[in-house]
Amino acid sequence: MSCAMPETGHYFAVELSQSAISLPMAHDVFISHAHKDKNIANAICEKLESAQIRCWIVERDIAAGEDWTEAARNAIGSSRVMVLVLSENANAAPHIEREIAHAFYTRRKILPVRLTKTPPRRDFLFYLSDVRWFDAFNPPPEQHLEALIARVNSMVHGRTISGDAMPIRSAPARKKRIRLFGFFVRRIASFSLFVWLIGVS
């Protein structure tokens, strides 16, 4: 099945069969990252696995001669969570959007981790408007990794996380929708009051 993303016209071949949505969970986490960010992605993988969280990462887990796109799609389908490493490099990597789209349409949880203050590419925001992400560009990096482990544990195993250990930010698009909703509610209330006053007079 092909799915089009609004405003951009981009199409992605996304398998939405029941088997694609409910594959056996061979991994807890799929780590999506640009090749240039492989060092930080490997550090995230090592830290998560030290906490008994099973990860799939392309540099280690793709078999020799295996098709990259097919392998990533299967790995996303057999994982519970996608940890998305966001940066300028991710914005420029074409495979990142394909992986985000597949995770989105197969109903996987997406956990973005921003390495820099650079905003995510506009094409990504369609898929990330209702998710919460980590801002991991301020020191110390160890704090961000510990908070990431806590968050992933809560998503995978249902474990409790401490609010003060989570440097999480809500997606800006979500905040914008909330502000717009409040604006329209106030407008409707003002109009209703105006109609009522005319009726009374």
Quote the CA–CA distance of 175 and 181 in Å, as a whole number.
Answer: 10
Looking at residue 113, its amino acid is V
> Are 104 and 183 part of one and the same domain?
no
Q: How confident is the model at residue 7 (pLDDT cuts 50, 70, 90)?
A: very low
Q: Tokens 């392998």 correspond to what residue? A: 71
**Global confidence as pTM:** 0.68
pLDDT tens track for 45-92: 999 999 999 999 999 999 888 998 999 999 999 999 999 999 999 999
53: CATH: 3.40.50.10140
Q: How many domains does the chain have?
A: 2
- 165 neighbors 131 (Cβ within 8 angstroms): no
pLDDT tens track for 83-116: 999 999 999 999 999 999 999 999 999 999 999 8
pLDDT at 163 over 50: no
Q: How confident is the model at residue 200 (pLDDT cuts 50, 70, 90)?
A: low
> Are 98 and 195 part of one and the same domain?
no
> Are 152 and 113 part of one and the same domain?
yes
Average pLDDT of every residue of the chain: 77
DSSP state of 121: P
As a whole number of angstroms, the longest Cα–Cα distance in the chain is: 81
pLDDT score recorded for residue 196 = 53
> Are 20 and 111 part of one and the same domain?
yes
> Are 184 and 86 part of one and the same domain?
no
The domain containing residue 179 runs over which residues? 172-201
Residue 150: both structure tokens together: 């806590």
- 12 neighbors 2 (Cβ within 8 angstroms): yes
pLDDT at 175 over 70: no
